Amino acid sequence: MARRGKDAGGNRRNFLKGAASGAAVLLANPATAPAQDVEAERRAAPSPSAQQAARETAPPPPRADVYITDRPGADFMVDVLKSLNFDYICANPGSSFRGLQESFINYGGNKQPEWLTCCHEESSVAMAHGYFKVEGKPLLVLAHGTVGLQHASMAIYNAYADRVPVYIILGNEQDANFRRADVEWKHSVQDAAAMVRDYTKWDDSPTSLTHFAESAVKAYKIAMTPPMEPVLIVANGSLQEEPMSDEDKRSLRPPKLTLASPPEGDSGAVAAAARMLAQAENPVIVAGRVARSQKGIQLLVELAETLGAPVLDRRFRMNFPTTHTLCNSGNLREADVVLGLEVEDLWFFTHDQTPINRMGMSNRSILKPGATVITISSEDLFSHSNYQDFGRYSETDLSLAADSEATLPALIDACRKIISTDRRRAIEERCKRLEARYQQNRDRDFDAAAAGWDASPVSTARLSAELWNHIRHEDWSLVSNTTFVSNWPNRLWDLDKHYHYLGGQGAYGIGYGAPAAVGAALANKKYGRLSVNIQCDGDLNYSPSVLWTAAHHNIPLLTVMHNNRAYHQEMMYLQDMASRAGRRPDRAQIGTAITNPNIDYAVMAKAYGIYSAGPIDNPNDLGPAIQAAIEVVKRGEPALIDVVTQPR
């Protein structure tokens, strides 16, 4: 069967366009064609000639086969997407977006964005997730609207729960007449985005290039307005592959993008919050996803110092310098005013619940009676129902539906204006007490790190300390979550830049770590930063192929395995469950241990083309191995060290 030709496509579009414009004229000017006028014109018109009559009534000539076009619709789609200034595309190739891929690499020159080869759609999205948290810009992800999106879905949920914008284009063939074979039916879907609509912010399935252009730009704007979330646009297959009409060639252009300014808190509410905070005896700030940038960190420091308020960092982002004496030196139980900034789990943080070793469930607030709770959060501006990432309802005394980083300057200003000299003295005294507590915490953490220092397997504290010893004089970026290594980097290292720590998965979906680290390292690459990934073994086994992506695209990244040879959290849960049931806990490794055989991650890395060392189980061997691997990374390559570690 011949392809539909340029004329056919053009005529179809022109017919529809003409019909639509005719209807529009009639609607716009309903009184312009009264019936009597039409009849008069018909009478006055000359009769058609014999030649004209023959042309009108003869059968149409056979349609000429058209094999090529110099301007498929995908070219214009590329124009639109280039206007959004994406740096990279992450994609596993798929036939439903073959037109777009060809246009990106040829028409678009494979520059800005550059195409990155990913081996799994979950990696594509997680790379974009990690990239954004360093660079503050979304990456473009392309995937099949069916099987590719199914692969990507967990990573999209992670990004959604972590309030990270990922910009996703889905290939799909909406028009059944254009589906060429069984595979294209299996890869087509009526409503592609439906599957992930519960955990994305917006989507559209454009039916024309004009529609695509407007929706593509609108999607970017929506994704980048707090709370930031993933968005999807479906790129219809025939719209990608069929020629642009002459009219479209002449008239279409990418619409202008203007990002919305982040929503700032109402001035009256800001003033009220400032009064409560300024009068507090023991204010405490709880930081969720506050800082998007270095500016956000600086603003939070300013607020904390203005109030003399300790900052309890939920470690969802790099919010507050670990070197600051107000960092985690507070106690919620002592607070009379609590300020929660972008914390969706504030209830969990302010309540005790029945521990897992007891039956039933009860809970109580740990706050003092009468303590005032203030929240500033863009979480209040957007919600879905189905997935429960929004957390438990938290009672508050003042709630500002606003972006915290955007609101902090006004709040700081309002506080400064009303803090009297006497209050200032009290705040200085409080800061001295908090500094002493900060030092006590630091002493405690370092003595805890000394425990098991010489143990084999290697303690996670020793691993973290050895790593820090080798990177602390570099411009470094920790691109992995620290939850599974007892947060040792946050406790031992000096973190003060926004790229020093990126938080975690968002939805605790495992398989995020390795690809997000590669994505973050990609963002760090142009700044020459040393990216460091403490990589959980269970996580790596979801998408190990991202190591190949790192090698193929020369993404420098030091990966140090936290190889505890288990899905350890679940092993502990099994032990809990066995104990609750009054049974022996010595079978908890069934279904949770990753042993017999042990996985050789150094060999795995080599198979993907990456420098590697290990397995290392003697802690004294770790320092030299790190040093050697850093030299490789500084040459612009990824490297991996397999370290056999303690559980946490």
Partner 1 sequence: MIGRIAFLCVAAVIAVTAQQNVAPAAGDAASGKVLFTKIGCYECHGYAGQGGAAGARIVPMPLNEQGMIRYVRRPSGEMPAYTGKSASDRELADIYAYLKSFPPAKKAKDIPLLDGIKNRH
Amino acid at 191: D
Nearest partner of 104 among 96, 95, 113, judged by Cα: 113
**Selected range binding partner 1 among 34-42, 427-435, 441-449, 540-548, rule: CB under 8 A:** 441-449
- The one-letter amino acid code at 321 reads P
Q: Least distance in Å: CB of 363 to partner 1?
A: 14
Work out how close the CB of 445 gets to partner 1 at its nearest, in angstroms, rounded to a whole number: 9
| Residue from 55, 417, 424, 472 binding partner 1 (CB under 8 A) | 472
Q: Using CA atoms, how far apart are residues 518 and 555, in angstroms rounded to an integer? A: 7
Single out the residue of 19, 418, 450, 628 in contact with partner 1 (rule: CB under 8 A): 450
State which of residues 15, 387, 453, 527 lies at the interface with partner 1 (CB under 8 A): 453
CB of 66 or CB of 572, closer to partner 1: 572
The residue among 404, 393, 374, 410 whose CA lies nearest residue 226 is 404
Distances (CA, A) of 155 to 141, 255, 558, 583: 12, 29, 22, 37
Options 56-64, 329-337, 426-434, 579-587: segment touching partner 1 (CB under 8 A): 579-587
Nearest to 465 by CA among 441, 485, 440, 438: 485
Residue 579 sits in the site that holds partner 1 (CB under 8 A): yes
- Terminal C-alpha separation, the chain: 62
Question: Judged by CB under 8 A, does residue 490 bind partner 1?
Answer: no
Count of other CB atoms within 10 angstroms of residue 272: 16
Alpha-carbon span 477 to 220, nearest angstrom? 27
Of the candidate spans 42-50, 57-65, 364-372, 576-584, the one that interacts with partner 1 by CB under 8 A turns out to be 576-584
Q: Which two tokens stand for residue 603?
A: 């060999």
525 contacts partner 1 (rule: CB under 8 A):
no
Task: Provide Rg for the chain, Cα atoms.
Answer: 30
* Shortest Å, Cβ 107 to partner 1: 51
Among 86, 316, 468, 548, binds partner 1 (CB under 8 A): 468
Distance CA 163, CA 423 (A): 37
- Using CB under 8 A as the binding criterion, the count of chain residues that bind partner 1 stands at 45
Which residues 349-378 are close enough to bind partner 1 by CB under 8 A?
355-357
| Contact status: 441 vs partner 1 (CB under 8 A) | no
Smallest gap from Cβ 467 to partner 1, in A, equals 11
Q: Does 436 bind partner 1 (CB under 8 A)?
A: no
Is 412 a binder of partner 1 (CB under 8 A)? no
Query: Read out DSSP for 335-353?
Result: -SEEEEES-TTHHHHTEEE
- How far apart CA 58 and CA 72 sit, in angstroms, is 32
Q: What is the nearest approach in angstroms of partner 1 to the Cβ of residue 596?
A: 15
Taking CB under 8 A as the binding criterion, the range among 150-158, 202-210, 479-487, 633-641 that sits at the site for partner 1 is 479-487
586 binds partner 1 (CB under 8 A): yes
Residue 625 Cα to chain centre, angstroms: 32
| DSSP symbol at 462 | H
Q: Please name every residue paired with 558 in a beta bridge, in sequence order, or none if there are none.
A: 532, 639
Nearer to partner 1, 10 or 489 (CB): 489
Give the binding site for partner 1 (CB under 8 A): 355-357, 442-443, 446-453, 455, 457, 459-461, 465-466, 468-469, 472, 483, 486-487, 492, 494, 568, 571-572, 575-576, 578-580, 582-586, 588, 646-648
